Structure 1
Amino acid sequence: MRRLKRDPLERAFLRGYQNGIHGKSRELCPFTHPSTRQAWINGWREGRGDNWDGLTGTAGIHRLNQLRAVS
């Protein structure tokens, strides 16, 4: 059975989230297309907020799984 690819905007969001939760700079966004870049930055903002709230380690993994389930 073929595996379906995930939505590129969802993937960009999750990659941005992972960068944000690890405290990386917003300037590291690898995307140039406006909508994909915006999805990445939105994920980065969520990740930075969770980082500031202390959701790192195991708590961050659970939060990431919740984000994937909602999408």
Structure 2
Amino acid sequence: MKRQKRDRLERARARGYQAGVVGKQKEACPYESLDARGHWLGGWREAMEGRGSGLFMK
């Protein structure tokens, strides 16, 4: 049970990261639950920091 929960949250973070890489807004988060939304936003923030430092091309 814990592994499934962790995998779901890791997937939310990865999807948030991908959304940040392509430049989507944080309001585009598809998750309703606070845990998954928090992980998605964490991935999104990480990608946005990378974009700001020039890691990704626009």
TM class by shorter-chain length? 0.7 to 0.9
Moved beyond 3 Å, runs of 4+: none
Instruction: Calculate the aligned-residue CA RMSD, in Å.
Output: 1.6
Distance 2:15 2:50 in 1: 14
Higher relative contact order (CA 8 A, sep 6+): 2
Larger radius of gyration: 1
- Runs of 5+ in structure 2 lacking a partner? none
Aligned residues between the structures: 53
Distance 2:53 2:23 in 1: 12
TM superposition score normalised by structure 2: 0.82
- The sequence identity of aligned pairs, in percent, is 45
Distance 2:21 2:50 in 1: 6
- What is the letter of the counterpart of residue 17 of structure 2? Y
* Structure with greater helix share of residues: 2
